[in-house]
Structure 1
C-alpha cells in the first residue's frame, strides 16, 4: 500500500476520551463506540454503523504502549444537535488535509501497526508539516470485529499542512 492524501471537511463528532495503556485499548474502543452509537440512536440519529461513506475515528494524543498511556478519543461524526451526556462530549473538528495508509485487520495488530504509523509520519515530513492541534488517528471504514484478517478496515492518518 502507498501513502495517499485527502481533504477532510469540518465535522461535528460525539466523543468519549480516556487515558489508556495498549492492553486496555481494544476493550475501551469497543465500549466507547457502543456508548456513542446508543446515545446517537437515543437522540434520533439513524446510522449504518461504520462504512467508507460514514467512517468512525480513534484519535491518539500520544503513543499508547504496554508501558505508556495516552489520551485516546473515540469519535463518531454526526450532523445536527447532540447534547453532551455522561462521558460523551461533542466537538467540532476543523477542515484539514490528512495523509493516510489503508491497513487490513491483521495490520492493526500491535506492534506491527507501528510500521504504518511510521510510514505515514515519514510521508508527512516529506510533503508538509504535522498539525499539532490535530493528532494522529485511525479512521475505521468497516466493522472490525466482523472483518477477515485480509479485509481493509482502517486508514492510519496524520492531519497535516501541505508544503507550498
Structure 2
C-alpha cells in the first residue's frame, strides 16, 4: 500500500468532514476511497481527493440531487463543471419563482382576496363554428404538461399540412383535471380542412401517437385572454377560476370541458403579449 495514503480519519480531518460523511459519499458513488484494505475493510484516501470531498459537501448543501452532483464533479474541467452548476441553479431559481408565485396566489385565496385577482381578467363570450380537428391525447401530470403541449401541437401542426392545412387556432381540451395528483387526460387539437386526408394521416400517425380525427361541435365560449407570462402556473389557474366565477355570477352552465386556445406565435411573443384564450363552452 502507498505510504502517502491517508486513513479515513486523517483524510476527514483535512477535508473538514466526518468519517460518516465520507462513507456515505462512497456508498453513493460520489467519492470512492483510493484503496480499501481487503482484510480489514479500512478505507484510505489520497491528499489530492480533499478538494473533491469538499466540493461534494458544498453541492449537497444546495440540495442538489445525487445525479447532478456526479455530473458536476465528473466534468472534464472547471469551466464545464461551472456551466453544469449554473444550469442546475437556473433550474432551481425557475422552480422557486414558480413556487413564490403559487404561494402568493394561495395567500390571496386564503385571505379572501380572490375577487381582486379575478378582477384582472376581462371575460367575454364568442360563438365559434363547428370544426374538423386532428387530435392527440395523453394522460399527463402538471409538471409534464407544458412540454407535452408544445410537442403535440408541433406534431399536429406539421401533420395538418397533409390534411388541407390549418384552418383555425390550435387548442387543448381538458377532459379531466390535470394537476400533480390528477393526469387528465388532455387533448391537443388542430383544426384542418380535408377530412379524408386527415383520417389517412391519423391512421399512419396513430401507430406512434394516440391520434384521431373528430368533429368539434359549434359552441358559445365564455373566455378570457391572457398573456404569455400568465400562461405559467399558477397565474393560469386564476384565469380559469375567473371565467368560472363570471359564469356563476350570470347563471351560466358549462356545456363541455374547459380549454386553452393558442392563437399567437408562441416563440415570437413576449411575456406581455396576448397568446391564449382560457375558455369554457356554455349553454346558449
The match for 1:15 is: 135
Residue 91 in structure 1 maps to residue 214 in structure 2: yes
Q: Take 1:88 and 1:36, find their aligned partners in 2: how far apart are those partners?
A: 9
Give distance in 1, aligned partners of 2:159 and 2:275. Answer: 24
Return the alpha-carbon distance in structure 2 between the equivalents of residues 75 and 58 of structure 1.
6
The answer on whether the counterparts of 1:124 and 1:158 sit within 8 Å (CA) in structure 2 is no
SS at match of 1:146: coil
Q: Deviations over 1:87-128 (max 9, x none)?
A: 221110111111000000000110111110001011122331
Match of 1:33 in 2: 153
Q: Which runs of 4+ in 1 moved over 2 A?
A: none
1:150: Cα distance to partner? 0.2
Aligned counterparts of 2:165 and 2:174: Cα–Cα separation in 1: 27
Is residue 130 of structure 1 aligned with residue 130 of structure 2? Answer: no
SS at match of 1:92: strand
Find the residue that maps to 1:67 and give its secondary structure: coil
Q: Which runs of 5+ in 2 are unaligned?
A: 1-120
- Contact preservation (8 Å) 1:5, 1:99: yes
2:129 & 2:248 partners in 1: Cα distance? 22
- Which has the larger Rg? 2
Structure with more relative contact order (C-alpha pairs < 8 Å, separation 6 or more) = 1
Superposed displacement of residue 24, structure 1:
0.7
Given the superposition, is the C-alpha separation of residues 122 and 143 from structure 1 closer, same or farther in structure 2, using an over 3 Å criterion? same
Q: Which has the higher helix share?
A: 2
In structure 1, runs of 5+ residues without a counterpart are 48-52
TM-score by length of 1: 0.87
Q: CA RMSD in A?
A: 1.5
Quote the Cα distance in structure 2 between the aligned partners of 1:46 and 1:14.
11
Comparing 122-131 with 109-118, greater Cα deviation is found at 122-131
